[in-house]
Amino acid sequence: MEFLSELLESEKILVSRLRRGELDQKTVGALLSRINTGVVTLVQDALDDRDLAEELVRAFEKAIKNQITVAPPVLSTLGKTLAMRHDLEFNGHRPSEQDLKRNLAGLKITLEQLESEKHLNVSQRDRKKIGRSKENQRDNPMFC
């Protein structure tokens, strides 16, 4: 997962360039958002793919150990989530739900909030699809 390490390292570089004034906040924010979307997409895919999860867990451990990320607590939480899902080790042990809750508490997030966010995102997507479908029906003479 060399490309993931490069992504995480580029995240750190972008933040340092922002602090030095070489890049503006809007540009850095847009790039960081794209990087985070890529990482989250990989994690979502890894929830159903043990081999990918093993690679991501190793990459997250390496990134945290070598300090190449600006968000070690987030990577730790993602790594523990994958490790719990696939019964893997993360940082030398098998994480428990209590480990994950401690990480989330450090991020000021609860498991209930994660679940509600997941449902909120799904319902927002569904509402958009329904709205588009109604617009398409309104514009289509077959539905008049």
pLDDT tens digit string along 75-130? Answer: 988 999 999 999 999 989 898 888 878 877 777 765 555 555 555 555 555 556 66
Looking at the structure, do residues 65 and 24 belong to the same domain, yes or no?
Answer: yes
Quick check: 68 and 12 in contact, CB under 8 A? yes
Residue 3, C-beta contacts closer than 8 angstroms, at least 6 positions apart: none
Looking at the structure, do residues 47 and 61 belong to the same domain, yes or no?
Answer: yes
Looking at the structure, do residues 99 and 116 belong to the same domain, yes or no?
Answer: no
Looking at the structure, do residues 47 and 90 belong to the same domain, yes or no?
Answer: yes
Q: Tell me the pTM.
A: 0.68
Residue 85 to residue 83: CA distance in whole angstroms: 5
Looking at the structure, do residues 64 and 124 belong to the same domain, yes or no?
Answer: no
Looking at the structure, do residues 15 and 76 belong to the same domain, yes or no?
Answer: yes
Q: Is 84 exposed, middle or buried (0-12, 13-18, 19+ CB in 10 A)?
A: middle
Residue 26 to residue 121: CA distance in whole angstroms: 24
